[in-house]
Amino acid sequence: MIIKTPTSHTFVTGSSEGYTPLNAFDGALLAAGIGNTNLVKMSSIVPPGTREVPITELVLPPGALVPVAYAAMESDIPGSMICAAVAAAWPTDPAKPGLIMEYHAHGHREDAESVVRRMAEEGMRKRGWEVKTLKSMAIDHRVEKIGAAFAAVVLWDL
Amino acid sequence: MIIKTPTSHTFVTGSSEGYTPLNAFDGALLAAGIGNTNLVKMSSIVPPGTREVPITELVLPPGALVPVAYAAMESDIPGSMICAAVAAAWPTDPAKPGLIMEYHAHGHREDAESVVRRMAEEGMRKRGWEVKTLKSMAIDHRVEKIGAAFAAVVLWDL
Amino acid sequence: MIIKTPTSHTFVTGSSEGYTPLNAFDGALLAAGIGNTNLVKMSSIVPPGTREVPITELVLPPGALVPVAYAAMESDIPGSMICAAVAAAWPTDPAKPGLIMEYHAHGHREDAESVVRRMAEEGMRKRGWEVKTLKSMAIDHRVEKIGAAFAAVVLWDL
């Protein structure tokens, strides 16, 4: 094993305006409650048997390296609507892992959430696994000057 | 040391159609035998002295965080050909690491493989190292609706 | 904890020409002194209390997995000027982490450095934190055929 396999997962979303697109992204991470950590982007599996932890219980040390699967959308078009969504699907067999899908676009959160849920269902179908649980979270943001929307599944060891 | 340095490496390729480009990418990972893990993308060195392990021997725990160097190409143009390739070059001095290069494009696997091998050779020349071994793997995929091609060197500790 | 939190940080820059954009990027990493490691890109916090280590003291094992926040710019337009810059801002409260910002563009290093410093200041303002220290590093590169410029904050455990 190179890196410890996570034992908990948390859904978060956030959005923000910012001085630059990266500042808006940083602000969205802060709004999501994970802005003072080092996100390491990964593709996109929930290990079997993780416990879901609400973001309020997730105490991440500042500067910790945190594995996340995320969707992010940035725009500098004032008035435009941007959205980001994540979904995770778990199979009936508890020995099998969950599958995370991410989606970002222009548009409204309902649309993004609908797409990303379907993506997770399709991923389970590809594996030949029946879906037992499907959870999703989405956010949208009306851009004032420069904005970002962010949705993630955070993996951690609690 | 922050993260354990890997001790083995494995070449894999896969391709797939999918409901969205991300689903096609996910399907390509499944075809490559690493679809139920969390890929952490990295740039692109094989530590000295790793053992090559065939994918059939590589048992990755579901949801494990797995460091990989990879090339991926997605397309939604029906009929188009897409390809992905990786190469690793090792120097004559066994104390020195190997260098991985990645390449993706429209086109055929032979072309991608030829390019990526040359890239690895050029990287060794840049270091002033003589090439002892050069290994590569490539794949192409004829897109039906939405497709992905994927080639990777997986690092692990076995 | 999934991955050990780093205890030291180092600012580096490098630039290079290369056979392809990825080879130029690889050459820039070599010029920066971290070309024989596996960079794992992360967003972008310096843990509290890290020690600054000069690159000359930073001995990274070949092939080690190294967390970095970085900016990179590549171009194949002969004669064009490209630049990359990073800045880190630390708050007056030593229990709080530092914030890293990255910026790349066409143009000169002075301009990139000015932008990225302002980005870090804005990120601190977003957090409601007063800036105690602000450090930055930038590089530019005149492209001959295919070039890359790279600036990073490397985190490590020394």
- Catalytic choice (C16, C44, C75, C136): C44
Summarize the confidence of residues C32-37 as an average pLDDT: 97
With 80 as the cut, is the pLDDT of residue C66 above it?
Answer: yes
- Nearest-CA neighbor of B88 among B49, B39, B124? B124
Size of interface A-B (CB pairs under 8 A): 93
Out of B22, B38, B62, name the one closest to residue A67 (CB): B38
* Residue A1: inside a domain: no
Residues 6+ away with beta carbon under 8 Å from A63? A36, A37, A38, C5, C6, C45, C46, C47, C48, C50, C97
Annotation marks residue A36 as catalytic: no
CATH of the domain at B138: 3.50.20.10
Residue of B nearest to C24 (CA): B123
* Residue C125: inside a domain: yes
What phi and psi, each to the nearest 5 degrees, are found at residue B39? -75, 130
- CA separation for the pair B145, C91 (Å, rounded): 51
* Residue A46: inside a domain: yes
Inter-chain CB proximity B1 and C61 less than 8 Å: yes
Chain C nearest C-alpha distance from B131 (Å): 15
Is residue B102 less than 8 Å (CB to CB) from chain C? yes
Tokens of C69: 């926040």
Out of C43, C46, C65, name the one closest to residue A39 (CB): C43
CA dihedral A115, A121, A123, A128 (to 10 degrees): -160
Is residue A114 less than 8 Å (CB to CB) from chain B? no
3-state SS assignment for residue B80 = coil
Kind of pairing, strands B45-46 and B98-106?
antiparallel
* Residue C1: inside a domain: no
* Inter-residue contact B117 to B135 (CB < 8 Å): no
ipTM of the complex: 0.96
Out of C18, C20, C156, name the one closest to residue B2 (CB): C156
* Residue B109: inside a domain: yes
* Residue A158: Cβ within 10 Å count: 15
Summarize the confidence of residues C140-156 as an average pLDDT: 98
B64-89 pLDDT, tens digit each? 999 999 999 999 999 999 999 999 99
Q: Which domain holds residue A61?
A: 8-156
Number of H helices, E strands in chain C: 2, 9
pLDDT tens, position by position, for chain A (158 residues)? Answer: 789 999 999 999 999 999 999 999 999 999 999 999 999 999 999 999 999 999 889 889 999 999 999 999 999 999 999 999 999 999 999 999 999 999 999 999 999 999 999 999 999 999 999 999 999 999 999 999 999 999 999 999 98
B100-150 pLDDT, tens digit each? 999 999 999 999 999 999 999 999 999 999 999 999 999 999 999 999 999
* Residue B34: inside a domain: yes
Residue of C nearest to B94 (CA): C62
Kind of pairing, strands B147-156 and C65-75?
unpaired
Is residue B74 less than 8 Å (CB to CB) from chain C? no
* Residue A112: inside a domain: yes
Using a CB-CB distance cutoff of 8 angstroms, which residues of chain B are in contact with residue A123?
23, 26
**Domains held by chain C: number:** 1
- CA separation for the pair C40, C69 (Å, rounded): 8
With 80 as the cut, is the pLDDT of residue C88 above it?
Answer: yes
Summarize the confidence of residues C40-67 as an average pLDDT: 94
* Residue B1: inside a domain: no
- Nearest-CA neighbor of B98 among B32, B149, B51, B34? B51
Is residue A155 less than 8 Å (CB to CB) from chain C? yes
- CA separation for the pair C12, A89 (Å, rounded): 41
